[in-house]
Amino acid sequence: MTTVKQAQAGPAMTQAGKKKRSGVLLTGAAWIISVLFVFPVVWMIWTSFHSETDAATNPPKILSPFSTEGYSAFFGSNPWPPILNSLTASVISTVFVLCLALPAAYALSIRPVKKWSDVLFFFLSTKFMPVVAALLPVYLFAEKIKFLDNIWLLIILYTSMNLPIAVWMLRSFLSEIPDEMLEAAQVDGAGLVRTLREIIAPVIMPGIASAALICFIFSWNELLFARVLTGTRAETAPVFLTGFVTSQGLFLAQVCAASFVVSLPVLAAGFAAQDKLVQGLSMGAVR
């Protein structure tokens, strides 16, 4: 029907038709690129459900029978202690981060201290320091006080790694509360507790949730500290994965299964925090 209209309306409408066609092309391009980007992940999951012999074929047998060989090999290699260690380190450090960051963010936005922006930028600058430069002294110190291969060491380090992100994020949420609202509450004679509960809590809750998810992701992913500072007892899931760095015969399905299982918590947290991911990654600079 549109073509008939175009023919009647002349050049102006043809342009509209062109625009529509290029729109379809651009939408197509958007889909193709998105699918290309996600494809390696799909391939990883797909391969993980094939038997080792089918996974290692070339050219690939796409429609090989379903098999959980890779998963039983992975779970047979006792991955639970590292996964539990990762969970412990990520969850506890995230709780610590929130306990420290919430009051700090409050002191930097609602009732700001003097020179509050200097403090804020101090937090940010620590995030820019390469961790690798702090690795050696931390190692030596931990060695001296017999703290190596201890999950609490990672918890402390992950807390410091994520604290600046959380302070910046929570502050950017808190700064969305208009001053007039706080003043009005004060005029009404609302105490600190009531102000916190009725004005600040509703604004900060989504902020806390997304800051927590992002801190969780970063702690879960961390490799360098965990690799150097832990041994057999406190080993985390990424360190466990480094066991797959060198090829060991037919093991592709197992590698894919392991990579997928270890990435699952991050995928879940990331999709849950999707809308706030930008804010967290840019330290609250971008909303």
| Residues of this chain, 33-62, that bind another protein according to CB under 8 A | 33-35, 37-38, 40-41, 43-44, 47, 55-60
Is there binding between residue 165 and another protein (CB under 8 A)? no
Give the total of residues touching another protein (CB under 8 A). 100
Q: What residues from 96 to 135 belong to the interface with another protein (CB under 8 A)? A: 100-101, 103-104, 106-108, 111-114, 117, 119, 121-135
- Quick one: which H or E segment has residue 175? none
CA dihedral 181, 187, 189, 193 (to 10 degrees): 30
Is there binding between residue 137 and another protein (CB under 8 A)? yes
Least distance CB 215 / another protein (angstroms): 14
Least distance CB 239 / another protein (angstroms): 8
Which pairs with CB-CB distance under 8 Å and at least 24 residues apart come from 151-157? 151/85, 151/88, 151/89, 151/230, 151/234, 153/229, 153/234, 154/89, 154/93, 154/222, 154/225, 154/226, 154/229, 154/230, 154/234, 154/236, 155/88, 155/89, 155/92, 155/93, 155/96, 156/93, 157/225, 157/229
Is there binding between residue 249 and another protein (CB under 8 A)? no
Q: Which stretch binds another protein (CB under 8 A): 66-74, 76-84, 139-147, 197-205?
A: 139-147
Is there binding between residue 80 and another protein (CB under 8 A)? no
Other residues' Cβ atoms within 10 Å of the Cβ of residue 231: 10
User: Per-residue x/- mask for another protein, residues 199 to 238, rule CB under 8 A?
Assistant: ------------------x--xx-xx--xx--------xx
